[in-house]
Structure 1
Amino acid sequence: MTTPEYIEWWVRRINDNIPEPSHVSSQSIEEHLRAVPSELEIIKQDFERRNAELEKQIEQMEEEKINLRLDTDV
């Protein structure tokens, strides 16, 4: 059995734990959390950037290889 004071305290306690929307920031919670990339996302982006650089280097080396073959054929 609970007293009315306890029920009032409990309701206040629960409501105190609910974050109220901030009028200072217009971002939603999801947008705010998305703005800070996780460590895994940072590593993934770094990997993709490095992979793209290496693919470009491979393409350049293959072009050089073809040009060298043409030079030797002449």
Structure 2
Amino acid sequence: MPLRKYRSRNFAIELKVSLNKIEELKRKIEELETALQNCELRVELLETNNEHWKEQFQCSQ
């Protein structure tokens, strides 16, 4: 196999590996974004519950 053809083939393989890594990172980013959104929703719920219990406590005083 001529050196030029070998380098071209090698470069194509490296590109494919890089693309696969990029796709894997994209999936991980999506998973992290979903986890972050879930955490943000939980924080909102906890803050709402906290306000509710504060009001209940103040009314019972």
Q: TM-score range by the shorter chain?
A: 0.5 to 0.7
Letter in 2 for 1:65: H
* Deviations, residues 5-46 of structure 1 (Å, cap 9, x unaligned): xxxxxxx16x726416xxxxxxxx86x553x223x3333222
Distance in structure 2 (CA, Å) of the matches to 1:63 and 1:54? 14
Runs of 4+ in structure 1 over 3 Å off:
none
5+ long unaligned stretches in structure 1: 1-11, 21-28
Measured after TM superposition, the shift of residue 68 of structure 1 is 0.7
% same residue? 10
Q: Which amino acid aligns with 1:45?
A: L
Query: Residues 1-74 of structure 1 correspond to what in structure 2 (within 5 A)?
Result: 12=1, 16=6, 18-19=9-10, 32=18, 33-34=20-21, 36=22, 37-38=25-26, 40-74=27-61
RMSD of Structure 2 on Structure 1 (CA):
2.8
Structure with the bigger percentage of helix: 2
**Which one has the largest radius of gyration?**
1
How many pairs are equivalent?
Answer: 51
**Structure 2 unaligned spans of 5+:** none
Q: TM-score, normalised by structure 2?
A: 0.57
